[in-house]
Structure 1
């Protein structure tokens, strides 16, 4: 047995060098020696993200087990699989190609100032299954087992606006095991052009004994087959549409093995939802499109609308200031007073304090080793019954100055293709948070595996937004059953660590909505997180922590999110290009990024005076400060922090 190991971590990338993406000469020598000395050789790949695996075909290797970074129980888990006590049942959540250069983003990654998302919607298997099937070593969704399975009696039906897929899974082998059934859609090309396959649903069986069967009943909304028209090619710009034609449904054990089992016919163009232009590119570039099955390029549609007018049209209404009326936050929780009555008592200084954390990591108001504290960070707020809430880094465990569990990395969990299992694990994790004094876990990491060199891929789930969204939602549900909160991150397009605080993700609206926002949308709809974290990077020229369209128009307006948006730790200074009297935190608050974490403008804990200075100059309004405070206070009412304060 040979173990190939690779490290991974934040603020770094994988590199196209031996010892990172490629094998070292020492590793190659070891493989030559071991395979030459033994009749059978098993390789364990202990890596946080995908590495080059073309060498598996260069040596007489009997089996390879990708173990990812499995946390504190990884050794026991690997031993169980190797000895046959457990049958492996994981599936890849990424495509493994023969060469790095075959990835569609290979020529547009690691840019220092910007990355052009020229591959557009053709990320991972969406690219390979459409344009480059012969470049794939292991397809998306692939994974071996000690047993075999057969799919029988597969049925596809359209019931209203829901596609229903029933399939009988039979264990045809000699060992007990589990199988994952994956359902893919193949849309008509229409005028927009589509990927050859898009994952629409999946489900894992129970442990099936040899000869045992299980019927799986999978459902998904027909909207999962829709495309976003950002050009107006269908006559409906900025709309989700179903173009007319037959939508084939494929079912199988991975994207390549899936077979056509039926189709859904859309007789004419259907407009599912008419939206508005958001986060559109401001810099011209060429994006990939599907022209008769061949990859071609066309100019990306650019921004045409004024953001300023929309902000002015949607300004909140001010709550008249009353001063202290003796109302405590617990009174609001108990239904004895309204949130508006409570917020009416708060001074601008109180409101500003609610818009930031306690300046530094390791705040004395929280558990030892905390990432930061928000909420009741001043004596005046605590006198009104506002509790301080403790954040802790994650998501593969709790980072505090205590002994804490170390959980599998995000990719490892997603490769289980088992949201129910993930939810139960994170319910236990939530109980540990309560024990250790954590109120908010900074996770799950939701960013897409756009490129295999991204150093933080280990923390994220997949190249596919459905897998990412379902896995993230399961984590959120599990955690929040304990009165603690998840905080999905990094919203959005944090797909590179290099110069991450300044890099501009230049991406079309279509790719943004179909790929990079879709996982967050699913997570919010199905998990209902109480908090979410913005990303460091820019999206089409605007930092996420200042991005009104991202955090107000889409997140709150379209998706109905009612929770808190916090920054990633610290933020970049910038004036608001549309409103001269807004800058830094005032600019952020107008975008409804509610809380600056850990609360200062630098690591030394220097306060940011911009919110109050802008307010006094007539820039930021009292109503905007109140709106952000309401978002924060609604979270605190639901938190264990309020229960602890009142206990």
Structure 2
């Protein structure tokens, strides 16, 4: 089938074909096969199939809101992708029924309201007569269940969201009653209730997630055996929603107590509730079999190393994911029984072929944060490796019965890293703690014992003396002709206050349709050679509000389920190419919040319940963008784990859980890549809104993690004074004092349309010149390394005289 597209899209079409190929590859590798009995998959040559469910044509490509609402030129749906497979035959009579029904029952878009598309679309009723007639023409049924989710609305534990509707149950019953073979595909953004798998006679189940514009092609490749399933779960699927430890403390409009503490996802289930798991973390089936062997375990300079070999012992080609876990000694610090330490994905292995690789990871990855001095008073607020036996387990998922196992013993407790206490709660609450011999209690969480105001006052940055305009341009800093301090010294307080404001949405200073402009957002700033940078929404592609098209890649969860970091890097390198072609400097993604609860509306943007895989995947995305000279923005930090009342709901979390779960992914991303932009979240964390949270942005991210780039707020965020329950959009002084650099966004930065208090706070002494100048230096340091620094006619472009070059492309896609 030849698809021909003729369009006039301007600069944003150059790299679409490359992105298309990478996207299809990633979508195929992210599909997770959970069940496959009776040899139903892959579909054999000559198989006749009947396809049920509207998602066969109305394929869910991605979530809603800023993270997924990309304008695409086409969508490869499932039905038409299957029609192109010559080895199988689609029941066209049933397909025609669906095509006519869908024509008369179009999808609901939520009346065009932002991010209001329903979780569930009306489904055609599959009567027993329809199912029986279809069974006369084919022996295999394919049922597709669709869901979506997105920004500003969480899923709910009910029919049409987390649970199946009665209509979907009826479809499953009527189809499985008459078909010998049934395959169910879950075209969803989040994991859903899976009890129905055991209620009906279903042979195969796959999470096909939301694969972007190429998702249907990837599904057809997997079903027909052109690709072998190699996706693995990055979340635990529990028997019931109430089995998730966060279920009792999720969805509040005012405050959520993170009482499960460090026991998120498999850390909880594998420690306390193994019997409540339907599908374990890391699980996924293949069309072939693999044997993993390990040897030569050693520790060199505090690095754990060993050799692995993976052999394809099955009959078809495929890839395997090697997952490395560790179990720590019980010790004095409460710990999960098992944690992920490393992983890799093999190349495609032919039957009988082997792949060898040396695996290594630092011993420090097995450490625990001692927030109470359990291992000794001097060890409080340290990461410790407790004495005792550590086991390293190498296998195919967190419960592999054939783990390769090594062990080593530490005779003394070892301090890995000393920290300053930060982000500790001031509110009393209890959290989960394991009991010796099994089970858990709830114990009091350690409270904040330091004065955050004094911490800030004792660490104020030095000011740069203000000078007259000496003619220095930002390019002089880049070229080493003048220091950043001398350049910044030329800027007046008014200039500096303008520089820390972002402009958007739809700024005329940059490419139309983008999310923000920042940098040279005034005439004076432009005269200093400060360019205007453009940022646009991600992470699943470039979102343009003016309707321009771009590529839509698989959702974050699906990319993580590939367990293939080089492939994720390739996908984002392609997105980086599209950014360059569109004069976009900064992608507002990737998102890397933890999947604390399966109902979070934006889980699709994020990667996993595990911080290690989250951080590694985010790092791969940043590296891919960096390969093209552009940059991404790691977001939303921190403990932003629900959409309900996201701008005010307080996340109350222990310091240990913040460090080991909710910021650990960022720490890993900084280890594996060099990001220069981070976005804070809307919510307060332990009472302090994240856009003005000094411990978050300065004490930990900058001072402890060593990050030196820009930190921005989320769009139209609010900030509060320490100890105040009132947060406002105007309080940029609190933002700057915390170490956050840019307020996103206002309509007119040059004339302070947002009426922020930066200049007033300088005058009153509530903000120092040094704090404001530090933010300016961070912003200019980012701009120097973005493409905007080299674009022609910076001044003209910044003053709104952008002339778009129109191009035409005839694009053939088979």
Give the shorter-chain TM-score range.
over 0.9
**Deviation of residue 596 (structure 1)?**
0.2
Task: Map 1:437-586; keep pairs closer than 5 Å.
Answer: 437-577=583-723, 584-586=731-733
SS in 1 for 2:181: coil
**Deviation of residue 217 (structure 1)?**
1.5
**Deviation of residue 152 (structure 1)?**
2.1
Task: Map 1:50-61; keep pairs closer than 5 Å.
Answer: 50-61=191-202
Aligned-residue CA RMSD in angstroms?
A: 1.7
Aligned residues between the structures: 643
Q: Report the equivalent of 1:343.
A: 488
Contact (CA 8 Å) 1:327, 1:384: kept in 2 or not?
yes
Contact (CA 8 Å) 2:688, 2:723: kept in 1 or not?
no
Q: Could you tell me how far apart the structure 2 residues matched to 1:572 and 1:606 are?
A: 16
Gaps of 5+ in 2: 1-141, 795-814
Higher relative contact order (CA 8 A, sep 6+): 2
* Counterpart selection for 2:395 from 236, 252, 275: 252
Matched, 1:241 2:392: no
**Deviation of residue 605 (structure 1)?**
8.6
**Deviation of residue 372 (structure 1)?**
1.1
Contact (CA 8 Å) 1:387, 1:645: kept in 2 or not?
no
SS in 1 for 2:248: helix
* Counterpart selection for 1:91 from 220, 232, 238: 232
* Counterpart selection for 1:79 from 207, 211, 220: 220
Task: Map 1:29-48; keep pairs closer than 5 Å.
Answer: 29-48=170-189
Matched, 1:112 2:244: no
Contact (CA 8 Å) 1:356, 1:598: kept in 2 or not?
yes
Contact (CA 8 Å) 2:608, 2:614: kept in 1 or not?
yes
Q: Could you tell me how far apart the structure 1 residues matched to 2:756 and 2:316 are?
A: 65
Q: Could you tell me how far apart the structure 1 residues matched to 2:181 and 2:568 are?
A: 34
**Deviation of residue 159 (structure 1)?**
1.7
Q: Report the equivalent of 1:392.
A: 536
SS in 1 for 2:405: strand
Q: Report the equivalent of 2:268.
A: 127
Q: Report the equivalent of 1:296.
A: 441
CA distance 1:455–1:601, shift in 2 (3 Å): farther
* Counterpart selection for 1:210 from 342, 351, 354: 351
**Deviation of residue 616 (structure 1)?**
1.3
Q: Could you tell me how far apart the structure 2 residues matched to 1:407 and 1:368 are?
A: 22
SS in 1 for 2:745: coil
Q: Could you tell me how far apart the structure 2 residues matched to 1:306 and 1:199 are?
A: 36
Matched, 1:607 2:607: no
Matched, 1:637 2:784: yes
Q: Report the equivalent of 1:175.
A: 316
**For each residue in 1:409-453, what CA deviation from the matched residue of structure 2 results, as whole angstroms up to 9, or x when unmatched?**
000000000111100111111010111121110100010000001
Give the greater-gyration-radius structure (CA).
2
Contact (CA 8 Å) 2:691, 2:719: kept in 1 or not?
no
Gaps of 5+ in 1: none
SS in 1 for 2:360: strand
* Counterpart selection for 1:281 from 425, 428, 442: 425
Q: Could you tell me how far apart the structure 1 residues matched to 2:603 and 2:687 are?
A: 24
**Deviation of residue 260 (structure 1)?**
5.2
**Deviation of residue 645 (structure 1)?**
4.3
Contact (CA 8 Å) 1:156, 1:261: kept in 2 or not?
no
Q: Could you tell me how far apart the structure 1 residues matched to 2:407 and 2:554 are?
A: 38
Contact (CA 8 Å) 2:294, 2:404: kept in 1 or not?
no
Q: Structure 1 residues 2-11 or 157-166, which shifts more?
A: 157-166
Contact (CA 8 Å) 1:371, 1:598: kept in 2 or not?
no
Q: Could you tell me how far apart the structure 2 residues matched to 1:350 and 1:51 are?
A: 51
Matched, 1:410 2:556: yes
**For each residue in 1:198-245, what CA deviation from the matched residue of structure 2 results, as whole angstroms up to 9, or x when unmatched?**
000001110000111111221110001000011111111111001100
* Counterpart selection for 1:227 from 368, 379, 396: 368
SS in 2 for 1:374: strand
Q: Could you tell me how far apart the structure 1 residues matched to 2:653 and 2:408 are?
A: 31
**Deviation of residue 366 (structure 1)?**
1.3
Q: Structure 1 residues 129-138 or 617-626, which shifts more?
A: 617-626
Q: Could you tell me how far apart the structure 2 residues matched to 1:68 and 1:528 are?
A: 29
Matched, 1:591 2:591: no
Contact (CA 8 Å) 2:324, 2:394: kept in 1 or not?
yes
Q: Could you tell me how far apart the structure 1 residues matched to 2:748 and 2:565 are?
A: 38
Q: Could you tell me how far apart the structure 2 residues matched to 1:210 and 1:387 are?
A: 55
Q: Report the equivalent of 2:27.
A: none
SS in 1 for 2:264: coil
Matched, 1:329 2:470: no
Q: Could you tell me how far apart the structure 2 residues matched to 1:186 and 1:518 are?
A: 18
Contact (CA 8 Å) 1:585, 1:608: kept in 2 or not?
no
Q: Structure 1 residues 201-210 or 261-270, which shifts more?
A: 261-270
Q: Structure 1 residues 241-250 or 251-260, which shifts more?
A: 251-260
SS in 2 for 1:417: coil
Contact (CA 8 Å) 2:505, 2:747: kept in 1 or not?
no
User: TM-score, normalised to structure 1's length?
Assistant: 0.97
